[in-house]
Structure 1
Amino acid sequence: MADECIHGFEDGMCAICFPPKEPAPKPVAAPKPRGSRAGVRAARPAARVPGAPHPSADAAIDAKAMRIYHVTHLDNLGRILGSGALLADAADPGARPEVDIAAPAAREFRRAAEVSGTDAVVADYVPFLLTPDAHVWDAVRTTTPDPRLDAAAVERPAADYVIFVSSVGVALGARTEVLGEVVLSDADAAVAGARTAAEWPEIERMLRRLARDDDGSAIASAELLVREALPIERVSLIAVSNEKVRDRVRDALRAVGLRTRVAVYPPWFLPGTDAAE
């Protein structure tokens, strides 16, 4: 019987309860006969352009399996669960947070900023981070002022927030053929100069490039936008900082008949930690 993760994650997903195993030693190949030129030719790797990624690098990254994260204040949970979805700001009826994490000027700017290649503005989408180490969330964790965030939001303890977790594939659903239903931006989508992708093939390529980034700075700046709403049924788990918040979230879920997994995972809420582990 498999051990159960005390943080609420599925088996194998928590790096604390299920640390990665040490890699097995690679077998040493027997030396080839020196007189066999055919063996030498067969072992020689195919030529490739210097600096280009290995042909199998992209294939090893499942873009649809990449996790996405939406941060909100605990006091907003009731309205979210009542509507049955995470709603975009400009959707009908639209998100009306009790505690707004966004700075008023930033929210107004997103209501006017057009998304390249679509007929929508940024506020028509629900924003998701691609890592729990995203710069904007780290500003909250470290109480660092950020022009995108309401000053009061930065002053509140990170433990007062919850993180909705899903995946690119689940959020996308069957919308791979629909232009602009999901948009990927390599920075805040409302900022001039941000590079966006509104078609799935380009979104997939961008996601793989972000995942290959060695220092994590690129993926920490990016955001995935889901048009209008993400139903709560597509949320795989809600991460919280402590047991008290977990119990409050579970009570709220039971009140609306939902059984979404709730995970206590403090590293995602603490400053100066590698939250992605």
Structure 2
Amino acid sequence: MDRVFKALADPTRRLLLDRLREQNGQTLSELCAHLGMARQSATQHLDLLQAANLVSVVRRGRERLHYLNPTPIHEIQERWISEFDAPRLAALSAVKARAEEYAMNDTAIPTYVYTTYIKATAEQVWKALTDADLTAKYWDHANVSDWQPDSTWEHRRNGSGELDVVGTVLEVEYPRRLVVTFETPGEVLPGGPSIVTYLIESDTDIVKLTVTHENLPNADFHRGISNGWPAVLANLKSLLETGNPLPTEPWDLAMAHTARQNT
């Protein structure tokens, strides 16, 4: 929390976050052009935002793309705000979401990026993402595939075996990078399927896991995964660090929170 508050205390860094909120996934050059700032100054500010986990960096070829990471702000909101003023804030949030929905009708749907840190090895995180038995423990679905390029993968619901998501494995770089399409069975979207990239970066016994979900079809889909990915990855983190998933399914809490906001 200290790093987060220190990063947010500077107006220039808040402006950088505002620019990423307006257009996520910008390069350093794009951010500098918008702000009229020297590259060295912008880099120093972005390094502090990245150290506070407020910004995630995704490499795309030679470019480094910068994305807002909502995790620290969400933790602040959960710790100090949500319990005490939830009804009024939920009403304001609903108004804001409706206004943003109208605004997004004429703009591209942003890419979703989420970063978390896990006390584990890269190999353990890779296995947790790809092993059918492990995914069934923390995701309530088994991810089934041989995880070879061009192979299919299936997201099978526990118990019924119903397929909620299917896709194709696009890239495999064990144990650091996995790219798959993310599709609803039988649905063909005009813009093609959305794409999920898992990036695993390790340093001794700590892993930085970044999930990027792009080519999203609409604002409703973006809102859905914005609730879903944090819940799933929190459960994965708990399983790897404690040996057990969270005692209550986190997506149930996320759905209940959304339902309260809409009532």
Give the shorter-chain TM-score range: under 0.3
Higher-Rg member (1/2)? 1
Greater strand percent: which structure?
A: 2
TM-score, normalized by length of structure 2?
A: 0.26
TM-score, normalized by length of structure 1?
A: 0.25
Higher relative contact order (CA 8 A, sep 6+): 1
